[in-house]
Structure 1
Amino acid sequence: MVLHNPNNWHWVNKDVSGWTKEYLEKDLVGIKAEKDGASAEISKLLSQEGDVEVAQRKGKVITIFDLKLQLEYTGKTKEDEAVSGTITIPEVAHDTEEDEYVFEIEMYSESSSKTAVKDVVRSQITSQLRARFQQLGHALMDAHAKDIQHAAGHKPAFTPAKVYSSSSVNKSSEESKSSTTTTTNGKGPAVNVTSLSDQQEFRCDAPMLFQILTDPQRIAAFTRAPPKTFEGARPGGKFEIFGGNVSGEYVELSEPTKIVQKWRLAQWPQGHYSTLNIAFEQNNVDSVTIMRVDWTGVPVGEEEATKRNWENYYVRSMKQTFGIGSIL
């Protein structure tokens, strides 16, 4: 499916997890090796857990993936004894180097007579898997980049913005009813705006969440890059993150319970900011913290993109990076 993205300015992403599973099944199954009469071959992709996306940020297409894979292998010893087992790779990510993959190799039925096959897997099969994993990002780009980025000079017909009701935006989260008003900040034309809200659970205390959203090193960790601008987490301190696709200014901070920001996406009308209120409510029994988010002043037609990118690039990335929540 091609995602409408005129002039390649919108911050959009495409979930390609299903395509990736099919690709890996074709690419990995059949990898084989032999040494000193013992042989082994990848026979099945048993499971794939995690997320895979192709995203476009202000004209640049990137891949974002973080997977856990389990493969099945079969083989034979020099004496023709059948062997089978699993290979678990805890992390195959877009930023994993070729020498950083970890392989957990197990046999269904361990015995000393079968170790030669396990050695083939460890010494011969894993090196082939490393090389294949390094090509996944390129394969994703080749197959899907064209779906979210238009060719130079191509000017698709503009589709009028759709006004989304709260029920159509992230039904799994608690949201307020959207109320549309017209505002202007003196720097541009009047903008029709609405309100959004979101609620997420994190398995950490409130001070940690507060630090993740105010400390530049932690911000760099979950956004995958240092902030383009960061004047400090203080009232009036400006910031630009995600390569400038998100920018704003801290308005109010009450550690560790509240952060208020002026906040905008790059594709919004020039000079227009929403007000983003973030509240942290900690359960002192099990250190679970609810993060409640309320936006006011979101441009009409930008509701879905705002919520989607908040979920994917803030919430999901924070949970993955710091290990503070189940990724649904």
Structure 2
Amino acid sequence: MAKWGQGDPRWIVEERADATNVNNWHWTERDASNWSVDKLKSLMLAVNVENEEGMCKVTEVSKVDGEASINNRKGKLIFFFEWNIHMAWTGTSKTGIKYQGNVEIPNLSDENDVDEVDVIVGLAKDEPDTQLLALMKNDGASKIREALLNYIDALKLEFTQGMILPTINGVSKEPSQPKLKVDLQAKITTGQLPSQNIPDGVKIPTCKINLKDRFMTSPEELYRIFITQELIQAFTHAPAVVEAAKGGKFQLLDGNVSGEFLELVSEQRIVMKWRYRSWPTDHYATIKLTFYNKNDGTELQVECKGVPVGEEDQTKAGWQRYYFDGIKQTFGYNVRLF
């Protein structure tokens, strides 16, 4: 480890009052096994399907063998999980006859996409054949995969929190900072932004740009990532202050991005005033994020109005690097781009 005042500042623990591993730059690990067992059981026991033949539901989770953990090394989050799950299901025909069956999931792991996970459905020993078996193999297996995807999303969101730790002042120390920036850092320490009114903008030549990308997660989880301070700090790898309410201010990337929320519609839409620090003073673009639920994830469409002429490329590159790529690399929501 470098001495205080020397070497790579990310290795120095001087900036935390408790001398904690700054931003978890060293290898850190959190065990998620017990939490995962409870979560998987609750999600599986909620699975039920129905058609004209009758109804099927998971009635018991008899075995959940494996482990799960999250690791952080140099600001990169690595999720590990591997599970073998056995369950029982009960089918009830329209005439009231009951059937018993079983489900095995032998290979739920971080190495497999959910659609690659085996969901093996069968009838219990000595049970007669029934059309309910087909219902459980098709619709039931689909519901089970949805539950597995919900588990993975919940794991990443639940255990991301606390893995990216700010320093005692919220940011790394830099020499010769102007007084204005020191005051701002004091505000970050308390989780508040300086009180100020954001004007409607100054008159300069502007343009409009549109971006879109797709993420292998639900609109609910992707929306949450954009408004939760700890999760934003995780994917930007920098201090942030976020007041997630209409009229609430935000500041990201050590003050390089700032703005105000104009509209928040859960799982559907976020509208905000947004600016780079390098833009003309008091000029804000209007950014609209729209979340579309797709079969293979969420499509995010970003409309940027009022971008200063000449700043188009920087704005596009910034959103791609710090938002799209940052979220995918941190939370693992990788899919093929458009």
TM-score, normalised by the number of residues in structure 2: 0.42
TM-score, normalised by the number of residues in structure 1: 0.43
